[in-house]
Amino acid sequence: MTIRCLLVDDEPLALDLLEGYVLKTPFLELAGRCSSAFQAMEIIEKQKIDLIFLDIQMPGLTGLEFSRTLQQGPKIVFTTAFEQYAIEGFKVDAIDYLLKPVSYPEFLNAVNKAKRWFDHIELPASQEPRNSIFVKTDYKLVQIEFNNILYIEGLKDYVKIYLEGTEKPILSLMSMKLLEENLPENRFMRVHRSFIVNLERITTIERNRIVFGKEYIPISDNYKEKFQKFVNERFF
């Protein structure tokens, strides 16, 4: 598999070095580079990132603080000039810890660890695709069929899952990003920071909004290009 990498460091020279390493490693793809955890948040919100090379000491929000917000998101390789942070790094389940200046053999050893981890969790090709997902709501687990989902609305730390034929949505303590990662991307698409839609249940699009009965789901500029491509592929 190809591992999509994000580089996060407030030192331009460190970013340049890591970018060079990523570009010459065949199974890595550079998804982006940024100088702060805040910029990284914006990138992770918009695209799939598998692995982050994350500097620990950064102004505003440190790498360790940022890593604790990722929940079950991308895996992390910490980079730092200070060896004393190693133990803290592994407490947040980091793949590896690289001490600056990072050599290519050290970098390659870390990404090989990441590759082994991703290879291990990949589903066998013969396994049947999932058609449902379990979510926790009201202190119980509820299984939801993908076919029954119309759209999902994000509300800070919660999501509302709207189902066909049900007036009251299912409310679950979960991030939109985590839910998005667990939905099949060929059937669901994020069209707004606060909305994910079931592509198979779309019947009407009106003035840059998706219509579900009396509800209008806006398509934001950040997701418009991807959604328009989906529409164009089915337009006659």
Q: What is the pLDDT of residues 22-45, one digit of tens each?
A: 999 999 999 999 999 999 988 988
| pLDDT at residue 113 greater than cutoff 50 | yes
Q: Please state, in angstroms and rounded to a whole number, the distance separating the CA atoms of residues 30 and 123.
A: 24
Q: What is the pLDDT of residues 73-92, one digit of tens each?
A: 788 999 987 765 544 544 45
Closest CA to 167 of 197, 217, 212, 205: 212
Q: What is the pLDDT of residues 202-228, one digit of tens each?
A: 999 998 999 998 899 999 998 999 999
Q: Please state, in angstroms and rounded to a whole number, the distance separating the CA atoms of residues 197 and 100.
A: 43
- In CATH terms, 132-232 corresponds, of 3.80.10.10, 3.50.30.50, 2.40.50.1020, 3.40.50.2020, to 2.40.50.1020
Coil, strand or helix: which one is 199?
helix
For every residue of 12-70, which 3-state class applies, written as one string?
A: HHHHHHHHHHHHCCCCEEEEEEECCHHHHHHHHHHCCCCEEEEECCCCCCCHHHHHCCC
Q: Return the higher-pLDDT residue of 124 and 101.
A: 101
Coil, strand or helix: which one is 231?
helix
Q: Which residue has the tokens 């707004």?
A: 192
Cβ atoms within 10 Å of 161's Cβ, excluding its own: 23
Are 38 and 61 in contact by the 8 Å Cβ rule? The answer is yes
User: Over pLDDT 90: what percentage of the chain?
Assistant: 46
For every residue of 94-141, which 3-state class applies, written as one string?
A: CCEEEECCCCHHHHHHHHHHHHHHHHHHCCCCCCCCCCEEEEEECCEE
Q: Return the higher-pLDDT residue of 10 and 136.
A: 10
| pLDDT at residue 97 greater than cutoff 80 | yes
Sorting pLDDT into bands at 50, 70 and 90, what band is 51?
very high
Q: What angle do CA 231, 235, 236 make, to 5 degrees?
A: 175
Question: What are 87's two structure tokens?
Answer: 């133990």
pLDDT of residue 87: 46
Domain boundaries, the chain: 3-121, 132-232
Global confidence as pTM:
0.52
Closest CA to 206 of 224, 218, 194: 218
CATH superfamily of 3-121: Response regulator (3.40.50.2300)
Mean pLDDT for all residues in the chain: 86
Sorting pLDDT into bands at 50, 70 and 90, what band is 179?
confident
